[in-house]
Amino acid sequence: MEAAPGEILGIAGLVGSGHTDVLRVIAGALAPHSGRVELPGGRRPRRPGMRAAVQAGVGLISGDRRGVGVTADKPVWENIVQVNAVSLGRLGRWLTRRALRESAQALAGRVGARARSMDQAVDQLSGGNQQKVVFAKWLAARPSVLLMDDPTRGIDVGAKAEIYALMGELAAAGTVQLLASSDPRELAGICHRVMVIRKGQVTAVLAGAELTAHAVLEAVNGDRGAPAL
């Protein structure tokens, strides 16, 4: 598979089809059986693992905010800047607390995250604002590739619209985005192409006029007919 700079590539499949494993391999959380991961500019992670992937410019946003997205009892500003220590390596040690807080404030404003203050604990925010904090965290790292696994799960319509707008801004800036989603309407509405995976194999790639929610459902289910992602 290949995605171009500025492209939002959707990944669809039934539970257990292997479609989310694609993201885990690129993120360094799962070793591939074959092949390799090559990032924009021909770069590759220097070694296996998620830390190396982050340092190479890969970000991962999950719908499981409390499980892997945020540190719930930590303040907003710490959540936003925490990935900098990994992405910047030794350089991150030279950033002052004040500089980090100012950076977090600016990024929170950019993504529209609403909090009483940067010192408010993330678990006191709404689900939509928690997810915006996760987006802000990865914007701080400036990834060239952003992986998203059901990033709008469990958030309200207004927050979804703001996240879609942010994804559009990232695409315009040249960020490669891979979106695995259980919502065929989301995939058809925001993605340039959608890759369908069944039993670990790519079985269809939908784009242009062919890319509709109904077509995604049909391709995912094949001959089974049951519309369940």
Positive/negative CA dihedral, 7, 23, 183, 213: positive
DSSP run (H or E) holding 23? helix 19-26
Per-domain residue ranges of the chain: 1-57+143-229, 67-141
Task: Give the residue from 1, 18, 22, 64 showing the smallest Cα distance to 179.
Answer: 22
Tens of pLDDT along the chain (229 residues) come to 889 999 999 999 998 888 888 898 888 878 777 777 777 766 667 677 778 888 888 999 987 776 667 888 999 998 998 876 555 544 455 567 787 888 889 999 999 999 999 999 999 999 899 999 999 988 888 899 999 999 998 888 998 999 999 999 999 999 999 999 999 999 999 999 999 999 888 999 999 999 999 999 999 998 544 444 5
pTM listed for this prediction: 0.85
Give the pLDDT confidence score for residue 228 in this predicted structure: 45
Total residues belonging to the chain: 229
Q: What token pair was written down for 224?
A: 């089974």
Contact 146, 40 (CB under 8 A): no
Rounded alpha-carbon distances, angstroms, from residue 150 to 43, 46, 124, 155, 160: 26, 28, 22, 11, 11
Q: At the fourth CATH level, which superfamily is domain 1-57+143-229?
A: P-loop containing nucleotide triphosphate hydrolases (3.40.50.300)
